[in-house]
Structure 1
């Protein structure tokens, strides 16, 4: 019988050693949240995969689990925290201390608008460096941040999409430096307003399935000793 381990909390414990300077005071949103979910926490027969992101990631997580059924055991860490938050890596470390992951597929970029792009860049670089050091032999995959659309006209993009593009460009430079593969989710959904929910940010069933299919394929390519499904 599967055991599902769910933790929802607003603070955590052990942090990574700092690599870049971060803001002394974190920029908080009105509501901050974090959701950690580990499927088959009591088993280790299959490679374990971690998806890191926000509510977009949480939306396609179930589909990824279905696509990887029998090939990998999935976990997620989804949160409203930006990588610029000085406690972001504390939450990540909490999982790293307890589980060995074969693949970590991660994104961060749709929260923390109160941080500058330079602070975002430094926070993301610190997180990648920390995962490289502490995630063992896990293969890392960066997922680009998806665009935001105008909720009154889903055919057009919200002004914040310009910042999303800036963040994706900065992230691309970091991933090149650290030799991390990229899964381009922005490109996947860019021409599909029909996949977007009415809030202009999240995705409907079609969008989540398309995202899940691509993420699962990307993970399968990275899993040691596996062949991607046709």
Structure 2
């Protein structure tokens, strides 16, 4: 039987999946720093739409998650600094996803159940939800102009490049720092077809399974 998934924002579903999302992050990032439960709660309360969940409709378990945090303009440059520490992300630097105006995002993580054979579907569904959410915000006058991310693996770097981000520097921990300008142009215009996205995602999964990540 084919699994079915709901792709929802934190605002739509609530904070119940957070613990499962933390477990996915621990499993995915293999010893890299992962936000504590209290930090997840702090970010969620500041802006629940920082979280995009893939929920298995049968088990009600979270099987994938994107954490993409809108940050205030005066904090954004910290996220691309070589000494940036994600623990600096707090309620004081998190912005709204909804009110009109320019927004900047720190794309913190994308995770998926490592044991699932449905990882392409899950990751594709999460990306579609993320893009459609900010597409709707754009129609409401909320435009994301810049996105930053830090790739801690080859698979993460591949995903950043799939999204149109460009490597701009190295973090002091050896990770790659990425940035995208004009999200509306590069993602909303859908410069990658769904077929191309699935090919890239399958390659990311292959890299992870063979230890390249």
TM-score class, shorter: 0.3 to 0.5
Q: Higher relative CO (CA 8 A, sep ≥ 6), structure 1 or 2?
A: 1
More strand by share: 2
More helix by share: 2
The structure having more radius of gyration, on CA atoms, is 1
